[in-house]
Structure 1
């Protein structure tokens, strides 16, 4: 695809916005970046997914350094790493299969398989997570800490993470969650923070700011794994990634500074509205895609 100065500046601006969100909410921002690159800038879906997976490394690294992650924040991410890797490999393989299928016809209109599949999954995921985040916006961290998911899934062997929450958590459950998170990350080009953050807060009852620190570490790990996998399949455009990183690393630092000044209730509410806004944009794109 052609790549001029205007394209470079537009993509770099998008990277700045994504980096800001990464630092503010503890997510990679791919859930917003992939739709913007594909829908707004017209970049092919496989290149948008590959670039998104790769560029997250810049903002994620900046966010980690800005928050001064401690050793205790590494325990849970290291346990989940194995499942993440297997999931990323599976997700990128599914995307490659969709890319090989090329197109299908619906009412006489040709639709690109990879674009359609990725956008539909994005729409459903963002809609559900946005509603969940807004419903929880009126609940305090103390109320969320009463989450029972970790208590219901006590499949041995168990592990304890006293710095995150009280009680123990099943290692098999952690592994399967990592597998699912990696699968979505590899397929959609996201770092997984958008799914991970609600899981840590609503499923495990971890306080919002501590959950964001833990999420940032996992975001960095899965971003590294996804970058290697997508580069292997030739889905990473260096020029797109460079443009994204230029804006992303600056935005991430600003987002991390703002995060420290906001309360957990504010973060969850703003996160929910952001998710629903992106879901609306994708929904409009799907309507035009199907209606022609």
Structure 2
């Protein structure tokens, strides 16, 4: 069982603004909020590399849940595609989470940066 200490619930305007920003990006683009979280957690909040990746993944649950409720209520989603991709994403998520602790922070930084560059080039061209 996870024990949460009182310090985990201290209100922080900076963290709330980060949440609003990443939630907005996730809501409007359908993704990206979690992708922005890793560098934000590393560089602004000063969270260690492995912990920032794991924390971003945990935050994504809330980002996508909030956005998904709106998308589903408006009918702007494909349930068939969702179910088809969901199984693979669960399997991939488990594999990735197990591998996270086995790679170095430098590897995470470089590989994440490379994926971000490739994704941005794909979006532009």
- What range is the shorter-chain TM-score in? 0.7 to 0.9
Q: TM-score, normalised by structure 2?
A: 0.87
RMSD: 2.2
> How far off its partner does 1:70 sit?
4.1
1:187 — aligned with what? Answer: 28
Q: Does 1:226 align with 2:71?
A: no
Deviations 1:99-149 (A, max 9, x none): xxxxxxxxxxxxxxxxxxxxxxxxxxxxxxxxxxxxxxxxxxxxxxxxxxx
> How far off its partner does 1:181 sit?
1.1
Q: Does 1:273 align with 2:106?
A: no
Structure ID, larger Rg: 1
Question: For residues 264 and 71 of structure 1, do their structure 2 counterparts lie closer, same or farther at Cα, with a shift above 3 Å needed?
Answer: farther
Q: What is the aligned residue count?
A: 124
Q: How many Å separate the matches in 1 of 2:111 and 2:33? A: 18
Q: Does 1:249 align with 2:105?
A: no
Q: Does 1:238 align with 2:85?
A: no
Q: How many Å separate the matches in 1 of 2:53 and 2:113? A: 15
Q: Equivalent residue of 1:190, what SS? A: coil
| Large movers: runs of 4+ above 3 Å | 69-73
2:124 — aligned with what? Answer: 283
Higher helix share: 2
Q: How many Å separate the matches in 2 of 1:217 and 1:229? A: 20
Higher relative contact order (CA 8 A, sep 6+): 1
Question: For residues 259 and 233 of structure 1, do their structure 2 counterparts lie closer, same or farther at Cα, with a shift above 3 Å needed?
Answer: same
Higher strand share: 1
Q: How many Å separate the matches in 2 of 1:209 and 1:230? A: 31
Q: TM-score, normalised by structure 1?
A: 0.39
Deviations 1:190-225 (A, max 9, x none): 162211111111111111122223222211111111
5+ unaligned residues in a row in structure 2: which ranges?
Answer: none
5+ unaligned residues in a row in structure 1: which ranges?
Answer: 1-68, 80-158, 160-169, 285-292
